[in-house]
Amino acid sequence: MHAAGHLTPDELRDRADAQRDKRLLLRLRAVYLAATGLTAPEVAAALGPSRRAVQQWVARYNAEGPDALGDRPRPGQPTLLREPDVDRFRARLKAGPTPADGVCTLRGRDVRAILRAEFGV
């Protein structure tokens, strides 16, 4: 498997070692191993992702360089919950149902009711 010469294998290893984001770390290590001459199945076996994922990461690296290995925007509807309310909502769910909820376990419809009543979404 060929990895383009955007960075040397040593530079790739150093970037991976300094990385705190686990997904980016995994991708950098995959490209590093590919740059050292391993095949996609060998890299996949060593790191755990699928062979196809390794091929896609190396292709992105080859086409766009090391900055292309970061997460890309994902499709889908944006959340209606405002950023300051996200932590409060998580804490509310973690605390479990209250007597006002009238249930012993929160289900999907109960969570939707909480969002509507307490958070206005």
Contacts 24+ apart (CB under 8 A), 118-121: 118/92, 119/81, 119/85, 119/89, 121/80, 121/81
pLDDT digits (tens, 9 = 90+) for 102-120: 889 999 999 999 999 999 9
The whole-number pLDDT of residue 44 equals 96
CB of 85 closer than 8 Å to CB of 93: no
Count the Cβ atoms, other than its own, within 10 Å of residue 53: 17
pLDDT digits (tens, 9 = 90+) for 20-48: 999 999 999 999 999 999 999 999 999 99
CB of 97 closer than 8 Å to CB of 110: yes
pTM, to two decimals: 0.62
